[in-house]
Amino acid sequence: MAHFYIRIFKFLFFCQTLPDIGDFSAEHNKIKHIVNKHWHILQQDSQLKEVIGETPLITFRRSKNLRDTLTRSHYTQATKTTWLTSKMKGCHKCGDCLACPLVTKTLNVTQPRDNVEYTIKNYINCKSTCAVYLMQCICGKIYVGKTLREFRRRVLEHVGDVKHKRNTSVAVHINECHNGNTKVMQFFAVEQLKQTSRIGDVNKK
């Protein structure tokens, strides 16, 4: 009841009829009938009667529909390209990070086993996220990886794995076959996946 009185005083200086606003439902008519039926009880108070008016003003806001319930779509229209993004493709160095010496600038990557050339369709650099990348060793071995973080962070992580002799496929190969020389590694980012708030969607690609 205290909450009801607070609502009354909020409308004291705005209107002579107390509005009651709620979500529309199938019980709309029943609620309206009950309030009208027992409104006279509130009017027995002389001071309260001056505030609430003779009859209640019962209104209903639109209830939630399917559009309100469903989440926002992650499939949106493609963003407009600029002269820079439309013309520049391939893997590039950002020019100001520790990973740049290990990242190779290229537009095409050749798969040695089948001698198939792959053209990089996006503009990707060291700071790009959600990237599929290749690590190509000087001996011809290739490692394919994927990272949700910045590409450069994953490159430097591979370098750290080698230096600390961690038990990862890249680190084991470089340490056993190339005496831990990280300069034999070349990294290429070959594709940038579309990033969404659903991390699981990217991991499934």
- Per-residue pLDDT for 152 more than 70? yes
State the Cα–Cα distance between residues 18 and 16, nearest whole angstrom: 7
Instruction: With residue 55 as reference, give the H or E element that holds it.
Output: none
Let me know whether 15 and 101 are in one domain.
Answer: no
98 is in which domain, residue-wise? 88-203
pLDDT tens-place string over residues 7-31: 544 444 444 555 666 676 667 778 7
Per-residue confidence band for 35, with pLDDT thresholds at 50, 70 and 90: confident
Strand, helix or coil at 170?
helix
Let me know whether 92 and 59 are in one domain.
Answer: no
**Torsion sign across C-alpha atoms 197, 199, 200, 201:** positive
Let me know whether 110 and 18 are in one domain.
Answer: no
Residues 134, 109: contact at Cβ < 8 Å? yes
Structure tokens at 112: 């040695």
Number of domains the chain is built from? 2
pTM (two decimals): 0.55
- For 32-62, b/e burial (b = at least 16 CB within 10 A) is eeeeeeeeeebeeeeeeeebbbeebebeeee
Quick check: is 31 in a domain?
yes
Per-residue confidence band for 68, with pLDDT thresholds at 50, 70 and 90: low
Let me know whether 6 and 51 are in one domain.
Answer: yes
